[in-house]
Structure 1
């Protein structure tokens, strides 16, 4: 790899971007264009290894636990509440300490390398949990009331907990590395390629591997462990961080002093609380995602159809990601997030349809879902690209890790509440609804819609406040001690609704309407079910009107 030259031995941070000498700078690092391409290649290789590892664990474990007879509340506890505990404790501490850590390897990479052997071991143990559980049951519990399945469930809980613990060190700092080594002017474009790699990885996994999730679980986890250790480890050795300014006074003095500085800097400004709480409600809504595979199975799709529909949707998003970074440079990430968060309520509301009627057969539903994903791919790609640049823009750069840690702490509280709550909610619904089988999983969408509305309310408040703090042209992240002057800051000039940004929104909206029209045609002329056709028609009429409501809402938001 062509190593970036290091500038400013005193630790001063030069401006990012291209300079008159043709070099590209990020802090104390400087790159030629060839060097930046090499950097991107190594970071994207790391993305592939890391994303594959993180895709495998949450996709297989719920299926394995359900096959062993685990209760929904226990699945939710293992998959969402337990990581939430670590997010509340480990992530903020690691984020805060990594901002202030200085070594020859940088301030982020040492945290990744230290935990790599332990994370690899946890993946291997998960893969061999069936064999270990069988051995333990034969040796210690043979003839007892404790079944082999119960022993395996306990082991999976322990091993997944180990994985979550050590992965929290990696997840807490890995994406901060982008902010430290990628020039600011290229961050959106890099995030486009990063998301492209992530989606391509998920697509390949869903299309070729996911159908073997239960039959070849051991082989999948062993492969993921080896790829992570050797592949991701190689990326860490090839990517170099620059030098950083000396740690400010107050960053040392022991654990309690660190805690005081952390809470003072991150939680004393109301504006950041709006960001944190919006993120928390989004996390609570997302906790139902662990049951998404069961929701799709309740609609009549099998694992092969679920995996292939996700793979096709991922491939379509991947195509759009190739140029989504350029669009993100054109539309500000804070504005894009506001638009997408508002629109995201609509596809969730369409899921409410299946509470009133039964869907078409799986082979028909599969193609309707695939058709809808063609229209939503561009909006999904743009949203995926701007998520990280949005918080890079909103949070102070030199304290980026600490603020991300604070956000993770609040989000984790939501994850723990939501993780336990959604499992209990679905178990209560299971007892209350008369339908048998997996029908009760369709109520997960009620949970999602409610918290999507709360998320948009806070995203709207962030957008309004961001504009008062200068908006696209003049925003500076508020710091502790500046509240008084910021409270009286004049609002930025009112802007017209972004017509270009409405293009992916309208495409996604058209996809939803076409899906509802396809359902209407099926029930009216193929299944000859007038009741279901009438309900589809009512949903279609409501969704046609929804675009006008959405445009009015966005125009008001940008004028306010």
Structure 2
């Protein structure tokens, strides 16, 4: 009887690679990964993209100049660096793992240059007085922000490329959807707090809020690097390394990279879908606040409250959606979300003319984007080879960035030409295109076995 009771009380062990977890340990690991997600969410997807258009607009820049700094330059940098960083990370083998060392080293530099962006007015004034007395403050400010943003984005490629690979390495696959549900739940909670309580204050006092979020970022990534342990990885296939010529090795690595990542239609169409989806939100991300405050005469506080309410509603929805995606394939969730976004943009273009109508569309958009975003990473994990997850993510990022380089300038040009209401037309057209390419992915996925029997195609 005692032996039977002991067996009944034996904790369940969850495995991923060489890692083994009890449930409490798995929850502890997920806690620190979630903290790192929240930190990068606040820094890269709230503070910088929300405040930078305001800071740039204060320098009287055109929409194309704003798009150049916020989208074109980052997209070019991402295209160049993300594949290199991701592939090197996949092949790194250290006692601390293949992801953690990069995250630890980059964290303080990310925060440093984020803070320098907040001090742009002081830097601009110093340069005007000491170096360029005959040049206007707006021109100097443009170049200061362009240089600082470029350096920040360059360093950001390290955590921006790598941190999302950690979950694929250390969280068991059967919990990926649930984890992403919690991530989206907390992310929308942070979005609510930021938009409702912080946005208006951050615009008025950017230095203070950049510092607060910078401290949180350092704490979150310090905890991630200290408490989350990676498992052991198989040795890197080194047959290319045996070649004598360095140039020959580089050539073989590059050719192998492109053959593995772009030889199958399902991967290419998946990457194009991601790129079009990312580009579809470009005009809204850059100009939504300006559309609300300039065209609709809303205050920043009213805009923030609208986004916050949407985030609060999203938080209620995304948690059960994460669990649902452990049972149904996320590709279906992504597709249906796209159809809803298409319909809302059509409605918004014709009927959003005041704060109330903006609130209706804004809240529904935030909710649908949250669900679509929730399904994005699980869809990638389910379709590409897990062992080369970083490499295939970087290939996805290359396509995304290539699309963004073109889309950012085209979007800025169209916004200058047609006004801020262009955000609805832009999102409608690109989301429709993304839905078409996703149907091709869906067809190839089902052809290769679907939910039960799908195996990622490989290059031979």
Shared fold by TM > 0.5?
A: yes
Q: Return the offset for 1:321.
A: 2.4
Alpha-carbon deviations, 1:334-357, whole Å to 9, x = none? 222222223321111112205xxx
Q: Answer yes or no: is the 8 Å Cα contact 2:107–2:221 preserved in 1.
A: no
Q: Answer yes or no: is the 8 Å Cα contact 2:11–2:22 preserved in 1.
A: no
Change in 2 beyond 3 A, CA 1:450/1:124: same
Q: Answer yes or no: is the 8 Å Cα contact 1:192–1:324 preserved in 2.
A: yes
Aligned equivalents of 1:255 and 1:345: distance in 2?
43
Alpha-carbon deviations, 1:454-477, whole Å to 9, x = none? 111101111111111111111101
Determine helix, strand or coil for the equivalent of 2:235: coil
Q: Answer yes or no: is the 8 Å Cα contact 2:338–2:372 preserved in 1.
A: no
In the alignment, which of 292, 317, 320 is matched to residue 288 of structure 2? Answer: 292
Alpha-carbon deviations, 1:109-140, whole Å to 9, x = none? 11112222221211111111111111111112
Q: Answer yes or no: is the 8 Å Cα contact 2:32–2:220 preserved in 1.
A: no
Q: Answer yes or no: is the 8 Å Cα contact 1:94–1:172 preserved in 2.
A: yes
In the alignment, which of 235, 256, 268 is matched to residue 261 of structure 1? Answer: 256
Q: Return the offset for 1:367.
A: 5.6
| Aligned residue in 2 for 1:33 | 23
> What is the Cα-based RMSD across aligned positions, in Å?
1.9
Q: Return the offset for 1:366.
A: 5.9
In the alignment, which of 52, 68, 87 is matched to residue 59 of structure 2? Answer: 68
Change in 2 beyond 3 A, CA 1:268/1:50: same
In the alignment, which of 166, 173, 180 is matched to residue 191 of structure 1? Answer: 180
Q: Return the offset for 1:256.
A: 2.9
| Aligned residue in 1 for 2:82 | 91
Determine helix, strand or coil for the equivalent of 2:326: helix
Aligned equivalents of 1:250 and 1:81: distance in 2?
37
In the alignment, which of 429, 435, 443 is matched to residue 422 of structure 2? Answer: 443
Q: Do structure 1's residue 274 and structure 2's residue 269 form an aligned pair?
A: yes
| Aligned residue in 2 for 1:466 | 445
In the alignment, which of 91, 98, 104 is matched to residue 95 of structure 2? Answer: 104
Aligned equivalents of 2:335 and 2:278: distance in 1?
16
Q: Answer yes or no: is the 8 Å Cα contact 1:305–1:366 preserved in 2.
A: no
Q: Which runs of 5+ in 1 are unaligned?
A: 1-19, 430-439, 482-560
Q: Return the offset for 1:428.
A: 2.6
Q: Return the offset for 1:251.
A: 6.0
Determine helix, strand or coil for the equivalent of 1:344: helix
Q: Return the offset for 1:376.
A: 7.8
Aligned equivalents of 1:336 and 1:108: distance in 2?
29
Determine helix, strand or coil for the equivalent of 2:161: helix
Q: Do structure 1's residue 56 and structure 2's residue 47 form an aligned pair?
A: yes
Q: Return the offset for 1:234.
A: 2.3
Q: Answer yes or no: is the 8 Å Cα contact 1:39–1:239 preserved in 2.
A: yes
Q: How does 1:82-481 map to 2 (within 5 A)?
A: 82-142=73-133, 144=134, 146-250=135-239, 252=241, 254-288=249-283, 289-297=285-293, 298-354=295-351, 359-360=353-354, 362=355, 364-365=356-357, 368-369=360-361, 373=364, 377=367, 380-429=369-418, 440-481=419-460
Alpha-carbon deviations, 1:521-542, whole Å to 9, x = none? xxxxxxxxxxxxxxxxxxxxxx
Determine helix, strand or coil for the equivalent of 1:25: strand
Aligned equivalents of 1:38 and 1:341: distance in 2?
34
Aligned equivalents of 2:240 and 2:400: distance in 1?
24
Change in 2 beyond 3 A, CA 1:475/1:122: same
Change in 2 beyond 3 A, CA 1:381/1:231: closer
Q: Which has the higher contact order (CA 8 A, sep 6+)?
A: 2
Aligned equivalents of 1:368 and 1:396: distance in 2?
40
Q: Return the offset for 1:97.
A: 1.0
| Aligned residue in 1 for 2:246 | none
Paired residue total: 442
| Aligned residue in 1 for 2:3 | none
Q: Answer yes or no: is the 8 Å Cα contact 1:328–1:385 preserved in 2.
A: no
Structure 1 range deviating more: 211-220 or 412-421:
211-220
Q: Return the offset for 1:32.
A: 0.5
Point out the structure with the larger helix share.
2
Determine helix, strand or coil for the equivalent of 2:15: strand
Larger radius of gyration: 1
Q: Normalization by structure 1: what TM-score?
A: 0.76
Change in 2 beyond 3 A, CA 1:401/1:376: closer
Aligned equivalents of 1:241 and 1:376: distance in 2?
34
Q: Return the offset for 1:87.
A: 1.5
Aligned equivalents of 1:157 and 1:459: distance in 2?
35
Runs of at least 4 residues of structure 1 off by over 6 A?
none
Q: Answer yes or no: is the 8 Å Cα contact 1:328–1:382 preserved in 2.
A: no
Aligned equivalents of 2:43 and 2:33: distance in 1?
15
Q: Answer yes or no: is the 8 Å Cα contact 1:127–1:222 preserved in 2.
A: no
Q: Answer yes or no: is the 8 Å Cα contact 1:275–1:459 preserved in 2.
A: yes
Q: Which runs of 5+ in 2 are unaligned?
A: 1-9, 244-248
Q: Normalization by structure 2: what TM-score?
A: 0.91
